[in-house]
Amino acid sequence: MELDFNNLPTGVLAFVVFCSRVFDVSIGTVRMIATVQGRIYLAFILGLFEVTIWLIVIATVVNTVLARPWLLIFYALGFSTGNVVGIILERRLALGHAVLRVITGKSAEKIKGALALGGFRVTQFEGAGANGPVSELQIVCERKLLARALKIVQAIDPEVFYLCETPTRVRRFGNQMAGPDSSLVGGIIKRK
């Protein structure tokens, strides 16, 4: 049995177009991020679903746009909403890695120790700031663990300066990026 979208009631068709557009644009947003991160297989699978849904929706709208021009409004609303939903979804999935750089002049040892106890690997660099010596603590972790690392840092020094970056590539050497579930805690390297 073939479903003819032209025979659907007005409200139902508008809802189908809106929801389908939200779904395919959300998939597209996550696919773009997977592509940037070099996740070939994930990008391929998401792209396949995204374009399939898009073709079905665009065929429905194009075939009925003269009789029902208001479908364009639901198409556009679905697109805009899909962008927002895609961003929220990607933040929850937290694909990839993050680099957290903490710069402090007074709390380096406490922060480094607390992060190590939390299972994070920390690399410490010494430097000079405007008001004297400072330490930079660098932590590379999975993005889903970044909030946990920041919570540890800010519990010790709420005014600490930090910077979060998203690397495009991360090469692991052994168990360099230990997380909270790792049996290896510590691994602090100092460079002067």
What pLDDT sits at residue 68? Answer: 79
Domain ranges of the chain: 5-93, 97-191
Q: Measure the CA–CA gap between 97 and 119, rounded to whole angstroms.
A: 16
- For 86-91, which contacts have Cβ atoms below 8 Å and span 24 or more sequence positions? 86/25, 86/26, 86/27, 86/28, 86/29, 86/30, 87/29, 89/26, 89/29, 89/30, 90/29, 90/30, 90/33
Q: Measure the CA–CA gap between 15 and 19, rounded to whole angstroms.
A: 6
Low-confidence ranges of the chain (pLDDT < 70): 1-6, 172-192
CATH assignment, 97-191: 3.30.70.120
In sign, the C-alpha dihedral spanning 23, 24, 25, 29 is positive
Burial of 159 (0-12, 13-18, 19+ CB in 10 A): exposed
